[in-house]
A and B are shown apart, each in its own frame.
Chain A
């Protein structure tokens, strides 16, 4: 059974470059989440989609961060003009329902900005 997949698994970017991170959620899952996890910390919420609608983007740290899920399935998190403080693991999660229940996480994309 396919779980949540993310690509690339590792990304090294030079400061100022744009990056795009992809998430393939579990098929049929309505809810999709992006989290940022810094070393030694728990995941921090970035944004939430219910199908194709982005209902909450309160966790996006700046307007350099943009996420989309145009067809209600695959999602892309884009970071423009990357900065060193953007270095982290970016986790995608999906859940079947809208209510607060188990979220299934992908393996994450480890972003390093030099």
Chain B
């Protein structure tokens, strides 16, 4: 079983729509959680950290459920520029990042 499991999508949504997706992780000792964004044939870049209380960054909302070992990302008012692969990332120890396979989102005009 992979350490981080994600729904691969693709999620194909119109501009202005809300899209949400999630991931699950297997290591209950994990302490740090992130969403990274990866554009086609580019490197991953940090989108946002995920905190236990949930957090927002503009149109993006991340939630963490430690009991269920579940992380979610919600994008409101989708823009064309939000089209990308979103990588769920868990840190199971002091330094190492474990990545999910990514969820592909395509926002259409």
Contacts and interface: CB of A to CB of B under 8 A. Distances in A.
Interface of A: 31, 33, 35, 40-45, 48, 50, 55-56, 91, 98-103, 105-108
A45 B93 CA distance: 13
A100 B42 contact: no
Interface SS, A side: loop
B99 A42 contact: yes
B44 A45 contact: no
Interface residues of B, number: 22
B87 to A, nearest CB: 5
Given A106-B43, A107-B43, A98 B94 contact: yes
A49 to B, nearest CB: 10
Given A100-B32, A100-B91, A45 B96 contact: yes
Interface of B: 4, 31-32, 34, 42-46, 49, 87, 91, 93-102
A60 B27 CA distance: 21
Contact of B95 (A40, A44, A99, A107): A99
Contacts of A107: 42-43
A99 B97 contact: no
Contact of B101 (A42, A56, A101): A42
